[in-house]
Amino acid sequence: MDEITLIRDAQQGDLEAFNRLILAYQEMVYNQAYRVIGESDAAEDATQETFISAYRKIDSYRGGSFKAWLLRIVTNACYDELRRRKRRPVVPLEPTDEYDEEIESPRWIADPGESPEDFTLRAELSDAIQNCLDDLSDDFRTVVILVDIQGMDYTEASQIMGTPLGTVKSRLARARRGMRLCLQGFWELLPGAFRLENEAP
Amino acid sequence: MTKNISSRDWETISAYLDGQLSDRKLIRFEARLSQEPEFRVALNELHHTRQLLRNAPSLRVPRNFLLSPRMVGNPRHLPRLAPVFGWTSAVASLLLVLLLVGDFFTPAGVIPTAWNNVPGQTVPLSQGNTEDLVYTEAPMMSAPALGGSSENNDSNPMPEAELQEMVVTPEMESIAAAAVTTEEMDEATATAQLSPEEVPTAEIGEEDLMRAAESPSELEVATPKVLTDTTLSKDEFASESLEPSQTITGEVTLNQEFVQAEPTATEIPTEVVQQAEDTPTVSGIETFSEEEPLPPEEKFKVEEQTSIDSPEPADEMALKAAPEMETETFVVEEQVLDKTPEPRKSPYDFLAGIEAGVILLAISTAIAWVYLRRRGG
């Protein structure tokens, strides 16, 4: 069953059809929430809240990119969470193992089919990116996640964030400059596959 | 090496990476890119950064985020009622606006006049004079002085019909004046003037008043009960605990000269007293005092219609008050309000009820619609 049919059934109140849409988009939504908020539990809550809100507002979906529509909802949910955290700062709970020791890379990023080396490689890269993203302001972080991680174009990012196209362009440029400077500190830690290469754009 | 690149150039490089430059800007940028090596370095770094971000590992979800009917509150059944409430609210609001506009453009007094023309609601003034039945609102706070002559009627705000309603026969006035003591007359500066040519036998001198004060019982025999009420002084009127059937209010104007004048009649004419005895009640007063309690807005109006078989026509016996006479209105509003029974319902009450119902309907349906929309998402 294609996406349009599932959306139409969900608009008719078919919760099962909407749950199938959730299975298709939950990873994308969760990644967006995690990259923006930077904390797994809050990202989990934001993701669940996003799908509940999306189901209730699905009548307002008028076509176009369903992924962009979901990204707009989850972005707003993340902004709400960030505003809430600024009013009442929280200390995130780091995941721990069975010996109550902190796990640097959460277990849920593990791919059961990958080798331990690949897992370590991915975890280090993910942590380095997240650390650099956390140094950006909320708006810069969001735009660089939407364009460079989620693959949205400028127009979609502008619609999701509710900002003009020129603002998206300038914010993205400054966000990339900030990420460039930040990731330079991780060059030596990054695996060779991710190091700077002289490739043409 | 890239320190000399401005923020605008970084923005151009970033847009170039994403293919967002226009043709003219693209040609210009590529020309600078071939000439300035630091542009190439900056472009290379930004491109690598973008590649890193694009290759960022996708995090696996810790759990599924599937929804259950309990989580979404089964909203699909409720919103079906939402349009019903929405339309009902819209229609009720429109109806309310029409009612308010109708109220605004409706001339004042149209409905009350029609209402008071209902048979049985007004007391006929006199037989054969049915055109006088047109109802006019009684003044609320101060009654205008009675117009004594026809030429004064033009300047008198009181309609002619109402003036005719307030005709007082000389017999009634004489009996009323007889019951007033001199102290009461001094206290109440009300005056009344009886035209000598119209009521030659109705004037009572000060001597009569003194005698009446000394032996009021003699006059009370001949004085009808209701007429006695009309001669109450201001203090008595305020302190008297009147029965609802006795809420005779209005304006009594007495001529101060009358009190000070030389006595022209030493006693009440016997035929007047006899007529008063033969006629225990005045039909007009009895009618609205016992059968129809006065509504609040009519409490200052005195409808006195006599059924006394007076030897002269009522018009000729009308009490004519001089324009210069001093008048005093008995202020008994609070007392009478307490004593006045429930006012009769008018069509305005019905319309007000409809308006209140429409307002409640509009508000309640709007609240229900908003609630259902919110709950239904």
How far A33 CA sits from the closest chain B CA (Å)? Answer: 11
A contacts of B57 (beta carbons < 8 Å): 109, 122-123, 125-126
Token pair 């990116």 is found at A129
What pLDDT score was predicted for residue B148?
Answer: 41
Closest CA to A107 of B65, B57, B53, B59: B59
The enclosing H or E element of B30 equals helix B23-35
How far B67 CA sits from the closest chain A CA (Å)? Answer: 6
What pLDDT score was predicted for residue B158?
Answer: 47
3-state secondary structure B201-262: CCCCCHHHHHHHHHCHHHHHHHCCHHHHHHCCCHHHHHHCCCCHHHCCCCECCCCHHHHHCC
What average pLDDT is seen over chain B? Answer: 61
Provide the 8-state DSSP code for A196: -
Contacts of the segment B60-63: beta carbons below 8 A, 24+ positions apart: B60/A27, B60/A108, B60/A109, B60/A110, B60/A111, B61/A26, B61/A27, B61/A30, B61/A47, B61/A108, B62/A30, B62/A40, B62/A44, B62/A106, B62/A108, B63/A44
- How many CB atoms within 10 Å of residue B349? 11
Q: Which residue of A has its CA nearest to B10?
A: A173
What pLDDT score was predicted for residue A118?
Answer: 76
What pLDDT score was predicted for residue B212?
Answer: 55
Closest CA to B167 of B34, B14, B22, B308: B308
Is B191:B258 a contact under the CB 8 Å cutoff?
A: yes
What pLDDT score was predicted for residue B318?
Answer: 44
- In this structure, the dihedral spanned by the alpha carbons of residues B290, B291, B296 and B301, taken in order and rounded to 10 degrees, is -70
Closest CA to B282 of B252, B253, B309: B309
**Low-confidence winner among A65-74, B77-86, B247-256 (lowest mean pLDDT):** B247-256
Cβ-Cβ pairs closer than 8 A, A with B, add up to 133
Among B53, B62, B63, the residue with its CB nearest the CB of A149 is B53
What pLDDT score was predicted for residue A52?
Answer: 95
What pLDDT score was predicted for residue B366?
Answer: 83
Chunk chain A into consecutive blocks of 10 residues (it has 201) and report each block's average pLDDT, rounded to whole numbers: 91 93 96 95 95 94 94 96 84 59 53 72 86 94 96 95 95 95 78 52 43
- How many CB atoms within 10 Å of residue B236? 14
Q: Is the ipTM of this complex over 0.90?
A: no
A contacts of B62 (beta carbons < 8 Å): 30, 40, 44, 106, 108
Q: Which residue of B has its CA nearest to A50?
A: B65
How far A45 CA sits from the closest chain B CA (Å)? Answer: 10
Mean pLDDT of B231-238: 48
Is B308:B341 a contact under the CB 8 Å cutoff?
A: no
Q: What's the CA gap between B37 and A171, in Å, rounded?
A: 25
Tell me what percent of the residues of chain B surpass a pLDDT of 90: 14
Burial class (CB in 10 A: 0-12, 13-18, 19+), B346: middle
What pLDDT score was predicted for residue B295?
Answer: 52
Q: What's the CA gap between B264 and B257, in Å, rounded?
A: 13
pLDDT digits (tens, 9 = 90+) for B339-362: 555 556 666 677 788 888 888 888
Q: Cβ A169–B20 below 8 Å, yes or no?
A: yes
Q: Cβ B69–A15 below 8 Å, yes or no?
A: yes
Q: Is the CB of residue A40 less than 8 Å away from at least one CB of chain B?
A: yes
Per-residue confidence at B290, pLDDT binned at 50, 70, 90?
Answer: very low
